[in-house]
Structure 1
Amino acid sequence: MRYLLLLLIFLSSVNLTFSQDKLRVGVAGLTHGHVGWILDANKRTDIEIVGIAEPNKTLAERLTKQYGISMDLVYDDLEEMLTATRPEAVTAFGNIYDHLAVVEAAAPKRMHVMVEKPLAVSAAHASRMEELAKKHGIHLITNYETTWYPSVEKAQEILEEGEIGEMRKLIVRDGHRGPKNIGVSAEFLEWLTDPKLNGGGAIIDFGCYGANLSTWLHKGERPISVTAVAQQLQAENNPKVDDDATIILAYENSQVILEPSWNWPIGRKDMEIYGMTGALFADNGKTLRLRMAQGYDGFDEKVFQLEKRESPYDDPFTYFKAIIRGEIKASPYDLSSLENNLLVVEILEAAVESSKTNKTVFLK
């Protein structure tokens, strides 16, 4: 009997430790098209969704059924969910305008926050979010799909080693055929094409990727100026926002061209880095080409087929948990960092202004 009692105590201790090791996550909103990322992660042994805030019951019922999650976890109100379930961290999967409200609710409770890209719809919102994060000592990070690409990591590594010389030009292209054309959900489409809730159209939705990568590769250097042209080529699908843009960032020793679009015939997230002696082409998440110059227009090419990044740098939730638990520390201007994404919002705000005024905007 004594041995049985000891065994039960041991197993209870193991189960408690296992439960405590999971990152307790609250989900703020379900309308973002990327929400499946966190809902699917609930099957993992290191993540536990303890509450979901979503007033749209039809949407909540559809998604909880799809991912095998109980509707008992769903609350109408974010504040109610946070108070009732006490998550360690909150992941925002609603519209971009509401990112500020999520931080306003979570930060005073010392709950860490991860938002889907971009950080905020405006510099004013971003500044307030920064103020709250610092005041209450929470981690506030931004998630981009490209952050977890091994091709992006390898490109930065080769650039840092000086193999292609100093970067002179960066070109980043992101986008697809457009939200309506690729069949996003009605809930996602509603706010994605709303200039208030999303901050703009393609210029925001996909321009943020390049601004984020540029800020990282430039180690936090601020662009001197931002020049942008935005167009509406699918007025019937995107009546309130732009759907195609080109953004030029001028730095002291380099130039960056961002091409966010909802008019690409084939979905893409790729970048090109040009140095003084060679170039890098990150064609997708796992393929990277290195071309070393020879003569006038010749080159030697090496192709890298890369494997998944090592944990905890392989997905947003493993990374977020490691940051919260103090297992790793983000460097300034890392892709997910607050410093990086404050500048991203500033760049995007300047791009929108430039596109509307037809003038180059010089950053302070």
Structure 2
Amino acid sequence: MSKVRVVVVGCGSISKYRHIPEYAANKNVELVAFVDPVIERAEKYAELHGGKAFADFETMLAEVKPDAVSVCTPNALHAPMSIAAANAGAHVLVEKPMAVSDEEAEAMIEAAKKNGVHLMVGHNQRFMPPHVKAKQILQSGVLGKVLTFRTSFGHPGPDGWSVDGADSWFFRKEEAIMGAMGDLGVHKSDLIRWMLDDEVSEVAGFVGTLHKKGTEVDDNASCLLRMKSGAMGTLVASWTYYKGEDNSTILWCENGVMKIGTHPDDQVILELRNGTVEKHKVGAISTNDKQETSGVIDAFIESILTNTTPAVSGEDGRASLKVILCAFESQATGKFVSVN
């Protein structure tokens, strides 16, 4: 089987730390081009990994005709670039949030279907060992039903993560559309849907800008979620956890509690009502300071090679995005919002 010819579009931090090194490490991949409006960034990776550098996405599509494209651009460009790539016959891996509206997400799914290509969304939380382990434990039935939960994702903000620091597109409303919710909140709406194997039915949200200067995008959100099963809980996204990252989830169930990512060494802790305590060391959750292999790239390439539905489908990405959009609507209207 010949290698999958991949192009990475947008050469910022997510490409630098995840997409590019993980493609380079996959023996079934040939990196054929890099695209970035700051051409020097694209050229740097082309020198490192081979392939061509482009400043313009459309020019690259016409010239290179790639098998697959990673869209790692500002949020506002996710949909137009993904649709253009699908129309050019390329499989698409798009960073989260997959789009900035439900209509865009739907159009992306349609474009992939029409062109017979795969569309995958980069929700890496599903692949992290503690989350995989937690889902296995839930499915075993030992905890019984999940009744309530809290899931939180916070760090000091893109000013510390983005290649452009405080000048990052993350803070520019017209490019980002949304802030901490699009960056972190959507990871947690995806995680809770996947882990509980359940859909969010209702959302209430406080979403606002509390502390990041000179930006109109949200830097904090606290949301209430009710699931279809009746379980309820909170989802928190923050760019102002200045003392360090928190990416933890706690599930209170009929037979006990499961704590995920609350302890540096015991990543999954199970405390049952009968007094049993189980601690699982299964590998860390990736952080901005300490990158772990995300699993996303390998899963994407696997879906192309085996012609199977990607592990995080366009429909998954759309459902997880919808939860976030409903939180914004709740903030705007002061009402609970039904997700579907």
TM-score class normalised by the smaller sequence:
0.7 to 0.9
Determine what percentage of the aligned residue pairs are the same residue: 24
Shift of 1:192: 0.8
In 2, distance between residues paired with 1:351 and 1:60? 36
Aligned residue in 1 for 2:127: 148
Shift, 1:187, TM fit: 7.2
Separation (CA, whole Å) in 1 of partners of 2:42 and 2:298 = 25
1:31 aligns with 2:15: no
> Corresponding residue for 1:3?
none
Rounded to whole Å, the distance in 2 between the matches of 1:360 and 1:248 is 9
**Against the structure 1 CA distance between its residues 153 and 41, is the aligned structure 2 distance closer, same or farther, given a 3 Å change threshold?**
closer
Q: Distance in 1 between matches of 2:240 and 2:166?
A: 18
1:82-101 to structure 2, matched below 5 A, reads: 82-101=61-80
Partner of 2:322: 346
C-alpha RMSD of matched pairs (Å): 2.5
Question: Post-superposition shift, 1:164?
Answer: 0.4
1:357 lines up with 2:333 in the alignment? yes
Counterpart selection for 1:197 from 175, 192, 196: 175
CA offset at residue 63 of structure 1? 5.1
- Does the CA-based 8 Å contact 2:82-2:94 persist in structure 1? no
Summarize the Cα distance change of 1:134–1:343 in structure 2 as closer, same or farther, 3 Å threshold.
Answer: same
| In 1, Cα distance between equivalents of 2:166 and 2:103 | 24
Is the CA contact 1:198–1:205 (under 8 Å) kept in the aligned structure 2? no
Match status 1:256 vs 2:206: no
1:229 has 2:206 as partner = yes
2:41 corresponds, among 38, 59, 80, to: 59
Instruction: Give the number of equivalent residue pairs.
Output: 328
1:326 aligns with 2:303: no
Report the Cα distance in structure 2 between the residues aligned to 1:122 and 1:52, rounded to whole angstroms. 27
Secondary structure at the residue paired with 2:279? strand
Deviation of the 1:95 alpha carbon? 0.8
Q: How far 1:94 moved relative to its partner? A: 0.8
Q: Could you tell me which of 270, 285, 290 is aligned with 2:248?
A: 270
Q: Kindly provide the amino acid, as one letter, of the partner of residue 282 in structure 1.
A: I
Distance, in Å, in 2 between the alignment partners of 1:307 and 1:239 is 36
8 Å CA contact 2:222–2:237 kept in 1: the answer is yes
How far apart, in 1, do the equivalents of 2:166 and 2:43 lie? 16
- Give the conservation status (yes or no) of the 8 Å contact 1:214–1:256: no
Give the alignment partner of residue 110 of structure 1, picking from 79, 89, 92.
Answer: 89
Report what 1:287 is aligned to. 267
- Is the contact between residue 129 and residue 282 of structure 2 (CA under 8 Å) also seen in structure 1? yes
Give 1:174's aligned residue. Answer: 153
1:9 is matched with which residue?
none
Alignment of 1:74-85 (within 5 A): 74-85=53-64
CA 308–207 in structure 1, closer or farther in 2 if over 3 Å, else same: closer
CA distance in 1, matches of 2:174, 2:86: 23
Q: Is the 8 A contact 2:257 2:270 kept in 1?
A: yes
Which secondary structure state, in structure 2, belongs to the residue aligned with residue 110 of structure 1?
coil
Distance in 1, matches of 2:8 and 2:156, equals 29
Instruction: Give the residue type in structure 1 aligned to 2:35.
Output: A
More divergent stretch after superposition (34-43 vs 354-363) = 34-43
Structure 2 alignment gaps of length 5 or more: 286-292
Question: In structure 2, the residue corresponding to 1:49 is in which secondary structure?
Answer: strand
| Cα offsets for 1:92-124 (capped at 9, x unmatched) | 111111111222211122211001112111112
| Residues 33/314 of structure 1: CA separation in 2 closer, same or farther (3 Å cut) | closer
Alpha-carbon separation, structure 1, partners of 2:318 and 2:258: 27
Q: Which runs of 4+ in 1 moved over 6 A?
A: none
Q: Alpha carbons of 1:196 and 1:218: their partners in 2 closer, same or farther (altered >3 Å)?
A: farther
Distance in 2 of aligned mates of 1:132 and 1:262: 33
Deviations 1:56-111 (A, max 9, x none): 1233345556xx235x6111221221222222110011111111122221112221
Corresponding residue for 1:8? none
Could you state the TM-score of these two structures normalised by the residue count of structure 2? 0.88
